[in-house]
Amino acid sequence: MSKVILINPFAVPAGKEEACLAFWEQAAEFMRRQPGYISTRLHEALSPQAKFHFINVAQWESAEHFQTAVDSERFKELTAPYMELFPHFPGLYKVVRT
Amino acid sequence: MSKVILINPFAVPAGKEEACLAFWEQAAEFMRRQPGYISTRLHEALSPQAKFHFINVAQWESAEHFQTAVDSERFKELTAPYMELFPHFPGLYKVVRT
């Protein structure tokens, strides 16, 4: 197992920024308590024209740890009401160039 | 002026990953020499199903420095042939939650 980086861009409808942030904080608070979670940085766009108003970049101990957290019933309950309101595109990454 | 984070997700057609990387390296090599550039990390998806195969996360001294580099004739020449091949969604960000 090796460390992975979760990157999750959120497409936020205009005027829904605060609702999206509240949703993200709920999910983040759960994720912080899961095995394998290391850290997170939520980025907010400087321009209202950005395609993705929020982009989360988090570190996990392994892909397996992250997947276990995502597959948990509690996480599904937390995120289900918001899945369609805030289209988002999570993926796991490694750094290949610096 | 304050530091900003550029995040640029690339949607890469299947089989075009190496061509996209070559394009990115050309652009990155130019960017590294511009005033205000600090650092960059190119992330590659672990899964071929990821919506964005590459996501670049870079630091710049200010939005003005980054915009000057993007607006330069040389950068436009370098990127023009690839703009449509690799749809990408650059935005400037600040960290709002950790």
pLDDT-derived band of residue A84, with 50, 70 and 90 as boundaries?
Answer: confident
Indicate the domain borders of chain A: 4-93
The confidence score (pLDDT) of residue B58 equals 98
Say yes or no for a CB contact (<8 Å) between B50 and A91: yes
Q: Which residues of chain A have a CB within 8 Å of the CB of B91?
A: 45-47, 50-52, 55
Q: Which residues of chain A have a CB within 8 Å of the CB of B50?
A: 89, 91-93
pLDDT-derived band of residue A83, with 50, 70 and 90 as boundaries?
Answer: confident
pLDDT digits (tens, 9 = 90+) for B4-20: 999 999 999 999 999 99
A23, A96, A97, A98: best to mutate for the B interface, most B CBs within 10 A? A97
| pTM (2 d.p.) | 0.95
Query: Does A47 reach chain B within 8 Å, measured CB to CB?
Result: yes
φ and ψ at residue A46, rounded to 5 degrees: -80, -25
B93, B95, B96, B98: best to mutate for the A interface, most A CBs within 10 A? B93
| C-alpha to C-alpha distance for A88 and A71, rounded to whole angstroms | 16
| C-alpha to C-alpha distance for B61 and B4, rounded to whole angstroms | 6
Q: What is the DSSP letter of A86?
A: S
pLDDT digits (tens, 9 = 90+) for A10-43: 999 999 999 999 999 999 999 999 999 999 999 9
Cα dihedral B14→B19→B20→B25 (10° resolution): 160
Query: Does A28 reach chain B within 8 Å, measured CB to CB?
Result: yes
The answer on pLDDT for B1 being more than 70 is no
| C-alpha to C-alpha distance for A76 and A82, rounded to whole angstroms | 10
The answer on pLDDT for A2 being more than 90 is no
ipTM summary value:
0.93
Place of tokens 């160039």: A97
Domain B4-93 has CATH 3.30.70.1150: no
B97, A40 in Cβ contact below 8 A? yes
DSSP H helices, A14-81, are 17-32, 63-71, 73-79
CA distances from B54 to A81, A90, B12, B23, B24 (A): 29, 13, 8, 12, 10
Say yes or no for a CB contact (<8 Å) between A98 and B40: yes
pLDDT digits (tens, 9 = 90+) for B28-84: 999 999 999 999 999 999 999 999 999 999 999 999 999 999 999 999 999 998 888
Instruction: Please list, residue by residue across B32-51, b when 16 or more beta carbons sit within 10 angstroms of its beta carbon and e when fewer do.
Output: eebebbeebbbbbbeeeebe
| C-alpha to C-alpha distance for A68 and A59, rounded to whole angstroms | 14
Residue B84: strand, helix, or coil: coil
